[in-house]
Amino acid sequence: MRRALAAVLLLLCSRTAGATDLAVTDAAIARVPNTPTAHVTSNVAWQNAWRNERNHDAAWIFVKVRAAGGSWRHASIIRASLQPVARLLQPPSIAVSPDLVGLFLSAASPMRGPVTWSLDLTVDLSLIRDLSADTALETRVFGVEMVQIPEGAFTLGDPDPAALKFAAFYRSNAAGSPDGLIEIRSEEAIEVGAAMGALNYQVEQPEYQGDRQGPIPAAFPKGFRAFYAMKYELSQGLYAEFLNTLGEEATGFRAIHGGREYYRHRGTIRLEEGRYSATQATRPANRVSWEDAIAFADWAGLRPMTELEFEKAARGTSPAIGHEFPWGTSTIDRVRRVMQPNDDLALSSSADEAQLSDVTRVEFGASYYWVLDLAGSVWERTVSVGHPAGRRFEGSHGDGRLTGYGSATNEDWPRGDETGGGYGYRGGGYYEQRMQATDFNPYSPIAYRRFGAWGQAPRSLAYGFRAVRTAP
Ligand SMILES: [Ca+2]
Ligand SMILES: [Ca+2]
């Protein structure tokens, strides 16, 4: 009996630990008379928030509004404050993005633990069609847990020569051979190829590892400047909510649960009575294509991450070690955050995410900045330096608005699921329980980019997504 109880407790722990728990509740909208604006109020709460000397986490908040029965529109946030009742508590930092697409909500002073804040946002309604004084309005307020990656220099690549055959970045000598590692000290343009001090990498197949061309322009986000990365991979629950705000025609392009094998491959999104939902809402969304991924990013007011930002978010400012994983060691032996037999990603221990620290991050598979699952779970799709369409990326942000087919509209973003290119895959991916571990299944070392420029392959059981945003 006692053993059974312990098993139940363990199961409960592993179900609750290490997943996004951010909740937006009591969202309501009230018109401001005689103006094209409205107040949108809501309560935002999540566990394990923090602000410390190194960085902080935050919620990225954005708002959709519609006239009852109409199409959902992204609402610009004109002003943001706390509801009066909440002003008695410790106030948060509220930073509306310069483009008014959303806001970052974070603890204003050092803390660790659960937070709850009640927001009062003033939003612009001028994009709602046929708005009359008595039009009934509906609103949805979304929140995504993010981690701040501070501005600062960092090292690319891997000092272990074995990484070279996986196309890891290195500093070139005049002949094109390795001469140490590259340090990124600014957002200035980077020379690429066989030139003294340039960024270089070895290539077996250019379609997988890249064209070794350059330069990487100044506008390409390199991870030196501060940005926010999603704390967890895009979840099935959030993807279902995304689908629920799309027009009917757009859902035909973006719904990822059409294939016969979807439910055998960890998928839990369903369509019932016109509404999408995910049975396992916190499970990472797999079978996401590049076009699905960037549509989500545009819809959420975010953008894709570059492969240089991936290495910054993983390693931080610590010196590079050989065969290094995002948790700062060269092995996978101590990672306890793994895919469970029931296909949920959870801790195989009684630890709770409240215990995540610089000491325990090995167990949680957390990066230097406490971003989870950069290695393992699903592959991270990142904008590549190894293709012209990747190097054209300027880091523009989504504006919340998609085409009628549910496609992203940012012109500097790489496009195409099977042709086009400009993106690739980092961090490794989990396929199934019986597969033997390799350097790509389920975990890849930070610098390994065997598929870093592979701008192909549509939906797969091991491909997912994580969006970012440049810090305001
Ligand atoms: Ca991952
Ligand atoms: Ca857009």
| pLDDT tens for each residue of 157-183 | 999 999 999 999 999 999 999 999 999
- Domains of the chain, residue spans: 2-148, 150-472
Instruction: Report which of residues 178 and 20 the model is more confident about.
Output: 178
CA of 74 to the centre of ligand 2 (A): 10
The CATH architecture to which 150-472 belongs is Alpha-Beta Complex (3.90)
CA of 374 to the centre of ligand 1 (A): 4
CA of 425 to the centre of ligand 1 (A): 10
Q: Is the pLDDT of residue 191 over 80?
A: yes
Which ligand has an atom closest to residue 73 CA? 2
Cβ-contact 364, 189 below 8 angstroms? no
CA of 405 to the centre of ligand 2 (A): 12
CA of 398 to the centre of ligand 2 (A): 5
Phi then psi for 87, rounded to 5 degrees? -70, -15
CA of 378 to the centre of ligand 2 (A): 25
Q: Quick one: 343 exposed, middle or buried, by C-beta within 10 A (0-12, 13-18, 19+)?
A: middle
pLDDT at 131: 81
* 57-95 pLDDT, tens digit each: 999 999 999 998 899 999 999 999 998 765 556 789 999
CA of 378 to the centre of ligand 1 (A): 4
pLDDT at 87: 54
Q: Is the pLDDT of residue 13 over 70?
A: no
CA of 408 to the centre of ligand 2 (A): 5
Comparing 173-187, 221-235, 309-323, 339-353, the range with the smallest average pLDDT is 339-353
pLDDT at 458: 87
pLDDT at 456: 86
pLDDT at 135: 87
217: pLDDT confidence band, cut at 50, 70 and 90? very high
Instruction: Give the environment of ion ligand 1: residues with CB less than 5 A.
Output: 373, 377, 380, 427
Cα separation, 182 vs 214, in Å, equals 15
Which ligand has an atom closest to residue 398 CA? 2
**For residues 411-425, average pLDDT:** 92
* 239-297 pLDDT, tens digit each: 999 999 999 999 999 999 988 999 999 999 999 999 999 999 999 999 999 999 999 99
CA of 422 to the centre of ligand 2 (A): 19
- CA distances 15 to 25, 104, 113, 456, Å, are 22, 27, 19, 34
Count CB atoms within 10 A of the CB of residue 322: 13
CA of 89 to the centre of ligand 1 (A): 36
Cβ-contact 210, 201 below 8 angstroms? yes
pLDDT at 419: 80
SS3 state of residue 280:
coil
Q: Is the pLDDT of residue 432 over 80?
A: no
- CA distances 23 to 115, 148, 275, 341, 422, Å, are 11, 20, 19, 27, 34
225: pLDDT confidence band, cut at 50, 70 and 90? very high
pLDDT at 342: 86
CA of 171 to the centre of ligand 1 (A): 27
CA of 406 to the centre of ligand 2 (A): 10
Q: Is the pLDDT of residue 5 over 60?
A: no
pLDDT at 8: 38
CA of 411 to the centre of ligand 2 (A): 9
**For residues 327-351, average pLDDT:** 89
CA of 284 to the centre of ligand 1 (A): 9
Phi then psi for 396, rounded to 5 degrees? -65, 155
CA of 250 to the centre of ligand 1 (A): 27
Q: What six digits make up the tokens of 370? A: 């406490």
pLDDT at 89: 66
pLDDT at 3: 43
Which ligand has an atom closest to residue 371 CA? 1
Share of the chain above pLDDT 90, in %: 83
Instruction: Report which of residues 26 and 126 the model is more confident about.
Output: 26
CA of 373 to the centre of ligand 1 (A): 5
Segment (H or E) for 344: none
Share of the chain above pLDDT 70, in %: 94
What residues form DSSP beta bridges with 149?
Answer: 227
pLDDT at 91: 87
**For residues 399-408, average pLDDT:** 98
Q: What six digits make up the tokens of 101? A: 């697409």
Q: Is the pLDDT of residue 7 over 60?
A: no
Which ligand has an atom closest to residue 465 CA? 1
CA of 291 to the centre of ligand 2 (A): 13
pLDDT at 11: 36
pLDDT at 86: 56
